[in-house]
Amino acid sequence: MKDSLPEALSPEACANKIFEISGARFEAAIAADLWQKILKHKWLMSEKLGRDIGLRTACIDFLENMDQALREYMDYKRKDILTDMGAQRISAEIWDTISDSQPPKQLVQKRIILPLKEEDLSRKHGVTPPKTIVFFGPPGTGKTHFVKAIAGVLAWWYIEILPSMLMVDGPDRIGANLHAVMEKARALEEAVVFIDEFEEIAASRHAANRVDKSITNEFLKQVPLLKNKGNKILFVCATNYIRQLDAALLRPGRFDCIIPVGGLDEDGRRTILERLMSRLNINAANVDLGLIVKMTARFTPADIEYLFQQVAQFSFEREFSLKQNYEVTTETFVEILPRIRPSLTDEIIEEFQKDIITYSRV
């Protein structure tokens, strides 16, 4: 019983005690904290060994093992944070689902992935790896997909922050919640922190809006921390409505890259179509892929996924009612395609082109 009673020493006395025993000098506040731990360690060791090991042995043993214990503690904390934030590992293969010809794949490769991976080469040539990025473009064009793909090839943690998570405590607390999230993310070694639908929390609806001031102010505080060289945190936001974002956020020096994600070219569509075809009950020899590529002009990746859902449902129902094997053919696609309107209309493309001119920065 006597052993487990903490000795009530002042912080200075703790520092002196530790110094007497080990020769190591700690700041008083830290020493007070360490002293408590040393006492606990003494109790634990004595229990284990079935005899009183004495303060001197406990203190020396504790300090010797402190490095290890600290490392274990940090690993433990990190695991806690990962679960808490819903951090995910993303397969590197998702990068290969994107055609090399699909913008902005090449740009992302050269401007983001390589500089972050090739740190020494970046330093040698004075290239500053980007840390803060915005993707913008019409819905369904693959912005979220790109962010996941980046986390995948970098082999960094992927942490998606929903605007609703930041808004739970009301509009005034959005900045404070972002602050807490970023503090936790920093404890991880390497992470992509992603806020999707960024306009929901960063739109400038009115000049004095509490919402955008809270998030804008916090973001401006985070920028220098993110740009700190030792930090391996990539902060990415995506928005369908770049025009709505608070102008203060988009000024130079804040986001390193503002990148448009737009329509697919033929090769981009072909890559996605081929991948999705493999999931259908289909004999590839019976399908004119070239024709389908032509017929899906102005389809976004989301539209193409929708098309495949419709085709799959159609062929499933056919086989169910006919009671015999139904294989998807070109005709199946030709029948279903006219029912689906591509998301990218003339008007949307025209507005997007204007946004590219006004906002892009790479």
Residue 97 binding: pick among ligand ADP, Mg ion, none (C-beta 5-8 Å cut-off by kind): ligand ADP
Range in contact with ligand ADP (rule: CB under 6 A) among 14-22, 115-123, 164-172, 300-308? 300-308
Closest approach, Cβ 238 to Mg ion, in A, equals: 6
Q: Return the closest-CA partner of residue 241 out of 77, 359, 334.
A: 359
CB 275 within 8 Å of CB 305: no
Cβ neighbours of residue 189 under 8 Å, at least 6 residues apart?
A: 78, 232
Q: If binding is defined by CB under 6 A, does position 301 make contact with ligand ADP?
A: yes
Which of the residues 167 through 226 are near Mg ion (CB under 5 A)? 196
Q: Which is nearer to ligand ADP, 192 or 238 (CB)?
A: 238
Omega prior to 104 cis, within 30 of 0: yes
Range in contact with ligand ADP (rule: CB under 6 A) among 142-150, 174-182, 185-193, 343-351? 142-150
Residue with CB nearest Mg ion? 144
Query: What is the number of alpha carbons within 13 Å of residue 52 lying toward its C-beta?
Result: 8
Binding to Mg ion by CB under 5 A, coded x per residue (else -) over 128-167, reads ---------------xx-----------------------
CB 263 within 8 Å of CB 103: no
Q: What is the DSSP letter of 109?
A: I
What SS3 state is found at 64?
Answer: helix
Query: What is the C-alpha end-to-end distance of the chain, expressed in Å?
Result: 67
Classify residue 258 as left (phi > 0), alpha (psi -120 to 50) or beta: beta
Q: If binding is defined by CB under 6 A, does position 98 make contact with ligand ADP?
A: yes
Which of the residues 231 through 270 are near ligand ADP (CB under 6 A)? 238
AA letter at 226? L
Residue selected from 54, 86, 139, 170 as contacting ligand ADP according to rule CB under 6 A: 139
CB 165 within 8 Å of CB 123: no
Closest approach, Cβ 122 to Mg ion, in A, equals: 29
Residue 21 binding: pick among ligand ADP, Mg ion, none (C-beta 5-8 Å cut-off by kind): none
Q: Which is nearer to Mg ion, 131 or 143 (CB)?
A: 143
Binding site for ligand ADP (CB under 6 A): 97-98, 139-145, 238, 272, 301-302, 305
Binding site for Mg ion (CB under 5 A): 143-144, 196
